[in-house]
Structure 1
Amino acid sequence: MTAFRPCLLAAAVSLCFAAHAEDVGTVTVTGSRFDADPALAPIGATIISADEIRRAGAGDVNAAIRKIGGVYGRQSLDGSPDFGLDLRGFGVNSSQNLVIVLDGVRLSESEQATAILSTIPIDTVERIEITRGGASVLYGDGATGGVINIVTKRPSANSRRGSVFVEGGQFRAGEVRVSGAQAWNNFAADATLDTQRSDNYRDNNDFKQTHFSGGAQWFANQFDRIGFRYEGARQDMRLAGSLTEAEFNANPRQTKTPNDNGSLDSDRLTVAGQYRVAGHDLAADLSYRKKTVESTYFYGGVPSVGTYESKQLQFSPRVRKLGAINGMVNELVAGVDFIKWERTTVSDYSRADANQKSKALYLRDELRFDAAHEGRVSAGVRREIFDKDFANPLGYATTGYNVVQGLNAWELQASYMPVSDVTVFGKLGQSYRVANSDDNALTPSVNKPLAPQQSHDAELGLSYATAMRKITARVFRHNLTNEIFYDPTVNFGVNTNLDPTRRQGFELDAEQRIDAAWAVSAHYQHVQAKFREGVNNGKEMVLVPNNTLTARLAWTGDGQTADIGAQWVDKQRYGDDFNNTCAGEIPSYTTLDARYARKFGQWEWAVSGQNLADKAYFSQAFACKGYIYPSNGRQLKISARYDF
């Protein structure tokens, strides 16, 4: 908790002043792409702990981010639990305007696809850090909305854990998960096998997934280690398609596409290591991911079959120097990122081959001063060059291009505790996003890829934290130029660079521990997403709710836990309503969820429910009162878990 931070920092400064930099290894700074003490979180970040995840009964990482972190999510279109996450109101392109990282490895896709989080074993997660706002210096492309950093548990020498989890519920939902981990003096291994299925709320929306995750790690101490991890998943889904407003009101569960279906195979292998030498921490991640997606859509009873395969190779070496400057703790981080991505397509409507290579160099320095007041100031810069190729002999708006684009990012951050328990923090910077192959596959001008999107970011916040409560408030602004967005009003629909736009607003996070048993938390976001120039100057952006509010109440008793939550989402513009002339808007809605669990020795039994009021609502609608994708209705589940 915050009350202990001055002691940690004072100890760090004392050690740095009295000894060489290599002697302060226990003092690490999170948010720098190195291992970190969770007590020293990124400036202004929201932290979700493993205990909170377990108490809320979140079955996967995506659900934890939404339920506990208060991040707005849109129902997936394929029946999977991987909702589209939205930080700071980026609408349909929200997944391309935030970066998701798992233990230092970027999961965000180089295409118009949502990062797959449902394959991350929830039992292995130590914490989730949600850093809102521009973060392109460390994370590059697409980090304007923010970064979600998933940190898994580190092994402890000579320890063992294992569990079996079984769950069943409405709509023929079921899941079986077996996991285990064993650590010896200098070696640890773990594995998780999970299978789940559900018919889901709508007709022709069945979803099945089987995934395996396993790895091993050799470690000499807290600094030196090397390990690998393999993750493989197979998904099969039925695609329910969209409805009109009249069809939704008549029966939101129906489908007009009873035969559409798809599948996804994903394999990812990661090798990572860290080593300390001469007072420097050296780290590197090498990751390879292969994904195969198949789909079959029926038009007038005639099937249209498509398959694409994408491969991505990432290599991210970096170095950190943790030392002292005039008695102050200083952390200097430098690194390079290399990413090579390629995709081939074989379908009835496309033969698109795409390649993207990027190389980046970044440098970031953070100085901690005035330990009694937890002063922090940091600055960083990044230069990234993208080389992109695309060719599609069956293309329409774009049939081929080869382009090189260079982007710069920078940031300045600071925080200070002027009085006990109160921290003031702020951030200025520039972030960016480049058009991916899907964006450039359908553009206004033939063979002309879209210009890079750039954003000037600003944030000012205030946090009050004690052992019993924490309140954090932020105001923010993102001024964007060349925002990359799908505009259905141009040439029957194209991806384009919009006129200048803006995201600005206010965020409030609050946590209160009432007593040893009761705790309450809430997350509120108000965002104004508007055009600031052009023919739609002053008009609201589409698919962005002005307000969202998530609140939770948790109780812990003798071998028992209970958790209840509510989320309210404000109304929002339909997906094609750029000039704000549609006669209606997507209605606001409120959903409720709850879970009660009780332990009997090594067993835990639980009952949980989603959308308890059985609210009929939707968060995806891409035309005025049309192309509506209904969200899930009420679902109840019962689970049993055995720990050994």
Structure 2
Amino acid sequence: MHPRYTLSAIALAITSYAHADTTPTYSLDDVIVTATRTPTSDVTATYDSEVYTQAMIKASGATTLVDYLTQNTALTVMPSYGNQFTPLLDMRGYGLSNGFQNMVISLDGQRLNNIDGMPALLGSIPLSSIDRIEITPGSGSVIYGDGATAGTIQIYTHPHKGVTLATSAGNHGQLTGTVTAGLSTELLQLSASSDYQHSDGTSQADITGHKDASTLNTQTGQIKFRPLETLWLSLNGASSRADTRYVGPLTLAQFQSDPTQNGGNQYNHQALNSDQWRFGAAWDITSLTKLTLSHNQENKLSDYISPYPYTSNYDYTTDDIALIHNGDSWKLTTGVQSFNGTRASVSSFTTPNNTSKNNLGYYAHGEYHLGQLTLSAGARHEKVDYNYAPAGGTALFSNQQFNAWDIGTNYQFNPKTSVFANYNHAFLAPDIDSFFNTFTGSFNGFIVPETVKTLTVGVNHATDQHKVKIALFRADLNNEIYYNPFTYTSTNLDQSHKYGIELRDVWHINEQLSLNARYTYTRAIIDRASDGVGGTYNGNDLPGVPKHGINLGMTYLWTDHSTINLTQMWRSTAYAANDFANNATQRQAAIQSTNFAVHYHYKNYEASAAIDNIFAHSNGLWVQDDTIYPVNFTRNYRIGLKASF
């Protein structure tokens, strides 16, 4: 049994800076977003967007993808019960318990979301392989379909060139190692990488003598070649092996006296293995029109070894075909996507079963430019089938039909300033864990899907040295899916809404100094909840959602070869994750972290040193009274070396 909770994020990490030569000279006014599969300047986009290029990532000081998302974006990011490799994510107040299921996460166009309540294995994506990250809050349901209720995250990688060796070590047994190699010509690209991460853990040993240690090994490879002038073919493979022990909860007295202690429990132990391959093709029909297709197969094994043995085998198959036209005055993307996912589960406390979720979607999205005015519209139809086949029991089947749509506009006053508005309708078909009681494992029934309409309006102002974006949003939800911790079942909030404001400011003061700031104000309100609670939650705040969030960062080019990074993160107090009644004695405490890093670069060699959580602030996750999960409560330091050939 694994507790479910909603909470806002912490863990702002800052570590080795990749190349001092790039600090902080990248331009801010030529950023391109491709969330609709057609490249568009983010200043002229008809939807809200956050774009993080390779140059921005290098200038951040982060060393892992999870670190980067935590310290540089408006997302809330939290280790999943201490697991840094499969983090919980939230965007725009959907909460960490279900927030990651309310956004679609993709890697090079391949969907990473699982069919159950397990977050995506983001820790297996090396930051050094990432070309850019695009986040589209409040939109994306036409192109990406099921689950894009809060928005989407698209991660794009680049092929490696030459050979790179990197390693780092720190307290608490922190150890990383990365090897990359690649070759690129006009007709052929070869790329491979191997990544290792390990930590001995920061908490004391549990009652069996084990600490909260974690290890992750990831290998990737890609072959991409061009048999014809207009045709590219690619074959990708990836393999990951993760082994993690999760910390248990503490009482308030225990947490305040010593957050490193064990609360008299055994840590959950999980092994997670993933193997996948992907074939892709891109054919340029004309200079403006292309056809793309991909086929992906993933096999995954999740084994909760102790204290409650639970094994799941996953088999995912994904197919995607799209026709894309990228003209000067109009753009069009249309396609078909299918996903077939099956989980075979065996545990010590439930009936063995096979459960599947199969999606088939059709969509079209267009964009038209009229001088300074841009208009966009799109629609999607998707069918979702569920099958539940318990061993020795009666098989059950459910079929659901969904529609999504998106309309947007952008008016550009001048090349630097624009305003935009977007209205989006999205849906979330429940994950298969929603149909089961998490305590007994018994079938809970097919619950009602979630739908949401989101309005976002905003303004952009960007020069090559200064960029500001302000966005206001409101989302109205029907049947928001949430986990009831008192019945161990998932159910629906009849009606709820969310609203807020997001401010992003990046300023390159001069060639030496760059500053950035992000502020979010978010409210998530339960309007009506009748299922099992009789309206007692009506008008309450959704627990675990802080009203205020602040991220501040500074990058300073100390010398031609050395760089200093300083970052501060703060999240305001909130109701504890299970406190839907808003009346618990204990509240989620404010979370904060101050981080520092220095980096030295000379020719093909680099050295770095970093301190995270300089003031050793004790952060924790308040699930309910006297149920607190300690996270990121220690001062962590490390040194790193890198060589490129």
Query: What corresponds to 1:141 in structure 2?
Result: 146
Aligned equivalents of 1:333 and 1:622: distance in 2? 43
Query: What corresponds to 1:12 in structure 2?
Result: none
Which of 522, 525, 533 is the matching residue for 1:530?
525
Aligned equivalents of 1:178 and 1:287: distance in 2? 25
Give me the TM-score of the superposition, normalised by structure 2.
0.89
Query: What corresponds to 1:280 in structure 2?
Result: 289
Letter matched to residue 276 of structure 1:
D
Which of 90, 93, 104 is the matching residue for 1:89?
93
Which of 251, 254, 272 is the matching residue for 2:258?
251
Q: SS at the partner of 1:498?
A: strand
Which 10-residue stretch deviates more, 452-461 or 420-429? Answer: 420-429
Query: What corresponds to 2:126 in structure 1?
Result: 121
Aligned equivalents of 1:612 and 1:134: distance in 2? 37
CA contact (8 A) 1:248 1:630 kept: no
Query: What corresponds to 2:18 in structure 1?
Result: none
Aligned equivalents of 1:623 and 1:268: distance in 2? 39
Asked if 1:224 is matched to 2:228, the reply is: no
CA contact (8 A) 2:85 2:124 kept: no
Letter matched to residue 349 of structure 1:
F
Root mean square deviation, CA, Å: 2.3
Paired residues, number: 600
Aligned equivalents of 1:143 and 1:465: distance in 2? 27
Aligned equivalents of 2:599 and 2:249: distance in 1? 37
CA contact (8 A) 1:29 1:40 kept: no
For residues 292-347 of structure 1, give each alpha carbon's deviation from its aligned partner in whole angstroms, at most 9, with x where no partner exists: 0111333xxxxx42211111110010101233xxxx61111111110000000121
Please state how far the C-alpha of 1:40 moved relative to its aligned partner.
Answer: 7.3
Aligned equivalents of 2:550 and 2:101: distance in 1? 23
Query: What corresponds to 2:177 in structure 1?
Result: 176
Query: What corresponds to 2:163 in structure 1?
Result: 162
Query: What corresponds to 2:339 in structure 1?
Result: 339
CA contact (8 A) 1:401 1:448 kept: no
Aligned equivalents of 1:626 and 1:592: distance in 2? 26
Aligned equivalents of 1:232 and 1:625: distance in 2? 39
Q: SS at the partner of 2:420?
A: strand
Which of 152, 155, 161 is the matching residue for 2:157?
152
Aligned equivalents of 2:33 and 2:215: distance in 1? 40
Q: SS at the partner of 1:386?
A: strand
Which of 443, 450, 454 is the matching residue for 1:453?
450
Please state how far the C-alpha of 1:259 moved relative to its aligned partner.
Answer: 5.6
Q: SS at the partner of 2:253?
A: helix
Which of 302, 306, 326 is the matching residue for 1:297?
306
Letter matched to residue 476 of structure 2:
N
Which of 386, 389, 403 is the matching residue for 1:388?
386
Give me the TM-score of the superposition, normalised by structure 1.
0.89
For residues 376-409 of structure 1, give each alpha carbon's deviation from its aligned partner in whole angstroms, at most 9, with x where no partner exists: 21100001000001234599xxx86310011110
Q: SS at the partner of 2:118?
A: coil
Please state how far the C-alpha of 1:479 moved relative to its aligned partner.
Answer: 0.7
Letter matched to residue 308 of structure 1:
S
Q: SS at the partner of 2:55?
A: helix
Asked if 1:514 is matched to 2:509, the reply is: yes
Please state how far the C-alpha of 1:223 moved relative to its aligned partner.
Answer: 6.0
Pair 222,628 (structure 1): closer, same or farther in 2 beyond 3 Å: farther
Q: SS at the partner of 2:453?
A: strand
Which 10-residue stretch deviates more, 282-291 or 627-636? Answer: 627-636
Structure 1 unaligned blocks of 5 or more? 6-27, 299-303
Letter matched to residue 617 of structure 2:
K
Asked if 1:597 is matched to 2:595, the reply is: no
Asked if 1:472 is matched to 2:473, the reply is: no
Asked if 1:438 is matched to 2:438, the reply is: no
Question: 1:194-273 to 2 correspondence within 5 Å?
Answer: 194-203=195-204, 204-219=211-226, 224-255=231-262, 256-258=264-266, 260-273=268-281
Query: What corresponds to 2:24 in structure 1?
Result: none
For residues 453-491 of structure 1, give each alpha carbon's deviation from its aligned partner in whole angstroms, at most 9, with x where no partner exists: 0001101001111111111001101111111110123xx
Which of 98, 101, 107 is the matching residue for 1:102?
107
Please state how far the C-alpha of 1:254 moved relative to its aligned partner.
Answer: 2.0
CA contact (8 A) 1:99 1:106 kept: yes
Letter matched to residue 519 of structure 1:
S
* Identical columns (%): 23
Letter matched to residue 610 of structure 2:
S
CA contact (8 A) 1:164 1:643 kept: yes
CA contact (8 A) 1:596 1:608 kept: yes
Query: What corresponds to 1:14 in structure 2?
Result: none
Pair 190,34 (structure 1): closer, same or farther in 2 beyond 3 Å: farther
